[in-house]
C-alpha cells in the first residue's frame, strides 16, 4: 500500500486549505492509499513533523499556497521522494506555472493518483541557496522552487512581517506605501557563472519559475527545466517611474523598459547590505548568498509538460 504524507496549511486561502486538505485525503484514502495527516501549530512545527514522517513515506503531498510548495521543496529537493501539490492558497504561482489544478482538490488528487499509478513523474529544477549574512556557511542550505526576491520586494516583505495591522494582503499594500518614500537603490555585488555584473538596483530577483506574489510575471520567459536561473535587475529610476514600471510586472511587459534587464546563469553569487531574501514568499537567508540551479532536483507527482 502506498503511504502518502499530506501536509496541510489549514489557513491557506482564507481557510480554504483545511477544506481542500480534507477532500484530498478522502480521495487518496478511497483510492487505497495509506494517508498520514500532517499539520502543525505553525510552519516550524509542521516542518519538523514532515521531516520526522518523511523516511516512512512513499511521497509527500502539500496542500496550500506557494509557502507550502516551499516547505515541500525544502523537504524533498535533491531526493527521489516525489512531491504532490494541491493548490489552495491566494497566489499559487508555482502550481499555475506548472499547469496544475488550482482550487480544485478532486482534480489535484487525480493528478497525484495518476502519476503514482503510472509511476511517471515530472522532474524539474530547484534553486539551492547557501551561505547567508547571519554567518551561515556551506551547510546552511535552503531551496526554492519559484522566485527569490532580493530588492524592493524583499524590503517590503520584511516591513510587512513586522506589522501587526492590517491583516492579509492589505498589510503588503500598506508596507509598500510606507517603504516607497524612503527606499533607496542598493549596491549589489553580482557574479553570474563567474562573471562580475556589479550594479546599483531597485529590484533584483532570481527566478526558477516565471512569477511570484500572486501573478507578478517577474521573469516571463523563465522555465522550470532549462538548467538556468533568470536574474532580473531593475536599475535605478525615479520613484514615479518605478511606480509606473511596477504594475507592468503582472503582464510581463516591464521587461521592455530600458532600465530593466534579465540575465541567465546556472550559478548566482550576490551580496548587498541590508537585504534578506524571500524565496516563494518565505523568509530565507540575508545576503550574501550563492544560488545554484540544480537540474531535476525536484520530482513531482505531475504530468509532463505539453509538447
Residue 133: the pLDDT is 60
pLDDT digits (tens, 9 = 90+) for 197-254: 999 999 999 999 999 988 999 999 999 999 999 999 999 999 999 989 988 999 999 9
User: What is residue 229's three-state secondary structure?
Assistant: strand
DSSP conformational letter for 216: B
Q: Please, are residues 122 and 300 in contact by the beta-carbon 8 Å criterion?
A: yes
Q: What is the pLDDT of residue 14?
A: 76
For the chain, which ranges sit under pLDDT 70?
133-139, 168-169, 307
- Do 298 and 94 form a contact (C-beta atoms < 8 A)? no
Cα separation, 109 vs 92, in Å, equals 16
What pLDDT shows up at residue 136?
47
Q: How many CB atoms lie within 10 A of CB 200?
A: 13
Kindly report, residue by residue over 9-41, the tens digit of the pLDDT. 988 877 889 999 999 999 999 999 999 999 999
Phi, psi torsion values for 51, nearest 5 degrees: -60, -40
Give pLDDT, residue 90: 85
Amino acid at each position: 500500500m502506498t503511504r502518502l504524507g499530506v501536509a496541510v496549511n489549514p489557513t491557506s486561502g482564507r481557510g480554504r486549505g483545511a477544506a481542500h486538505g480534507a477532500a484530498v485525503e478522502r480521495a487518496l484514502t478511497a483510492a487505497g492509499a495509506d494517508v498520514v495527516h500532517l499539520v502543525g501549530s505553525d510552519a516550524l512545527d509542521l516542518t519538523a513533523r514532515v521531516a520526522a514522517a518523511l523516511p516512512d513515506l512513499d511521497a509527500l503531498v502539500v496542500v496550500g499556497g506557494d509557502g507550502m510548495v516551499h516547505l515541500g521543496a525544502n523537504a524533498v529537493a535533491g531526493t527521489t521522494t516525489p512531491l504532490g501539490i494541491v493548490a489552495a492558497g491566494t497566489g499559487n504561482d508555482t502550481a499555475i506555472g506548472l499547469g496544475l489544478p488550482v482550487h480544485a482538490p478532486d482534480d489535484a488528487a487525480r493528478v497525484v493518483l495518476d502519476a503514482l499509478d503510472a509511476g511517471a513523474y515530472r522532474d524539474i529544477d530547484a534553486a539551492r541557496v547557501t551561505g547567508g549574512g547571519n554567518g551561515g556557511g556551506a551547510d546552511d542550505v535552503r531551496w526554492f522552487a519559484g522566485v527569490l526576491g532580493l530588492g524592493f520586494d524583499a524590503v517590503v516583505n520584511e516591513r510587512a512581517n513586522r506589522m501587526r495591522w492590517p491583516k492579509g494582503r492589505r498589510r503588503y499594500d500598506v508596507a509598500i506605501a510606507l517603504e516607497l518614500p524612503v527606499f533607496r537603490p542598493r549596491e549589489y555585488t553580482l557574479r553570474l557563472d563567474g562573471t562580475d555584473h556589479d550594479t546599483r538596483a531597485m529590484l533584483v530577483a532570481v527566478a526558477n519559475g516565471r512569477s511570484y506574489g500572486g501573478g507578478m510575471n517577474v521573469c516571463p520567459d523563465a522555465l522550470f527545466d532549462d538548467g538556468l536561473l533568470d536574474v532580473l535587475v531593475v536599475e535605478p529610476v525615479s520613484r514615479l517611474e518605478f511606480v509606473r514600471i511596477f504594475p507592468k510586472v503582472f503582464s510581463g511587459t516591464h521587461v521592455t523598459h530600458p532600465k530593466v534587464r534579465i540575465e541567465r546563469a546556472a550559478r548566482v553569487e550576490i551580496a548587498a547590505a541590508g537585504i534578506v531574501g524571500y524565496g516563494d514568499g518565505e523568509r530565507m537567508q540575508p545576503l550574501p548568498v550563492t544560488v545554484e540551479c540544480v537540474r531535476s532536483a525536484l520530482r513531482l507527482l505531475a504530468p509532463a509538460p505539453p509538447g
